[in-house]
Amino acid sequence: MPSAIRVEDVTKTFRIYHDRNQSLKGTILQGRRAAYEDFQAVDDVSFEVEKGTTFGLMGRNGSGKSTLLKCVAGILEPNRGSIVTDGRLAAMLEVGSGFHPELSGRENIYLNAAIIGMSKREVDAKFDEIVEFSGVERFIDNAVKNYSSGMYVRLGFSVAIHTRPDILVVDEIFSVGDADFQAKSRQKFHDLKESGTTIMLVSHSVGLMKTFCDQVAWLDHGKLMSVGEAEDIIPEFQASFASAKQPHTASPRAVGLGGVTLESVEVLNSLDESVDIVSPEEPVRIRLRFTAHERLERPVFTLSMANERKQTVFRVNGADRGWIPDAVAAGEHVIDVVAERLPLTEGMYWFNADIRAEGAQEPQANVTRLGALRVDRNEFWTDRSLVQVPWTFEMQQ
Q: Is residue 393 part of a domain?
A: no
Q: Give the pLDDT score at 385.
A: 84
Residue 251 has pLDDT above 80, yes or no: no
60 plus 130 within the same structural domain? yes
Residue 248 lies in a domain: no
Looking at residue 105, its amino acid is G
For all residues of the chain together, what is the average pLDDT? Answer: 85
Same domain, 164 and 121: yes
Please indicate, yes or no, whether residues 148 and 199 belong to a single structural domain of this protein.
yes
Asked if residue 324 belongs to a domain, the reply is yes
Residue type, 244: A
Q: What is the CATH number of the domain that holds 291?
A: 2.70.50.60
Give the helix ranges, DSSP H, for the chain. 24-30, 65-73, 105-115, 120-134, 149-162, 179-195, 206-212, 230-242
pLDDT class of 291 with cuts at 50, 70, 90: very high
> Of 241, 270, 290, which residue is a domain's last?
241
Q: Clarify whether residues 233 and 292 are in a common domain.
A: no
Domain carrying residue 339: 253-375
- Note whether 235 and 201 are same-domain residues: yes
Pair 45, 173 in one domain: yes
CB 86 within 8 A of CB 2: yes
DSSP 8-state secondary structure symbol assigned to residue 95 = T
pLDDT tens digits for range 111-122: 888 877 788 898
Amino acid at 80: R
Residues 102 and 230 in one domain: yes
One domain for residues 61 and 110: yes
Min mean pLDDT across 16-30, 170-184, 348-362, 379-393 is at 16-30
What is the reported pLDDT for 247?
A: 47
Say how many domains are in the chain. 2
